[in-house]
Amino acid sequence: MADEAVQKVEKSRVSPGEFVRQVRAETAKVVWPSRRETVQTTILVLVMTSLLALFFLGVDQILGRVVKFLLSLGGA
């Protein structure tokens, strides 16, 4: 059974030159985004991460105050 696995791996190996040709063929099929699409996506990512940062800052502040309040009750 192990011999069959080794034979399959050996059959699927290709030379480095063939590998480079396959990689070039596959990258030629890729539809690359335009500059405009890249800029729009980058701006959207920056806006969304900023909004999420503000949201989590607010949640952190609220939870911090709640914890401080609860701890002050026990220390009285």
Domain positions in the chain: 2-74
Q: Are 33 and 41 in contact (CB under 8 A)?
A: yes
Sign of CA dihedral 21, 23, 30, 32: negative
Return the C-alpha torsion angle 25, 29, 35, 40, nearest 10: -130
Residue 8: pLDDT band with limits 50, 70, 90: low
The pLDDT assigned to 14 comes to: 86
Mean pLDDT of 20-32: 94
- The C-alpha atoms of residue 57 and residue 63 are separated, in whole angstroms, by 10
Residue 7: pLDDT band with limits 50, 70, 90: low
The pLDDT assigned to 12 comes to: 75
